[in-house]
Amino acid sequence: MRAFTVAFRALVSFYNELFLLVGLNVIWWITGGIFVGLALALSWSALSLTTPEGQPILLTVNPFWLLPLVAVPAGPAQAALANVARPVARDLHADRSMYFEGFRLYWKQALALAAISMGVLSLLLLNLFFYISRSSPFFQTLALFWALLIVFWLGVSLYLFPVLVGLKEPGVVAALKTAIGVAFANPFYSLLLVAIAGVLSLVCVPLAFLFVLALPAVIALLGEQGLKLVVERVRGPDEGAGPPRD
Distance separating alpha carbons of residues 133 and 142, to the nearest angstrom = 11
Residue 236 has pLDDT above 80, yes or no: no
Residue pair 151/180 in contact (Cβ under 8 Å)? The answer is no
Residue 114 has pLDDT above 80, yes or no: yes
Domain boundaries, the chain: 2-235
Distance separating alpha carbons of residues 207 and 202, to the nearest angstrom = 9
List, for residues 25-76, the tens digit of each pLDDT value.
999 999 999 999 999 888 777 666 555 555 555 544 557 788 899 999 999 9
Distance separating alpha carbons of residues 124 and 147, to the nearest angstrom = 8
Q: How distant is the alpha carbon of residue 32 from its chain centre?
A: 14
* Distances in whole angstroms, Cα of residue 19 to Cα of each of 112, 174, 208: 31, 33, 18
- Give the pLDDT confidence score for residue 240 in this predicted structure: 44
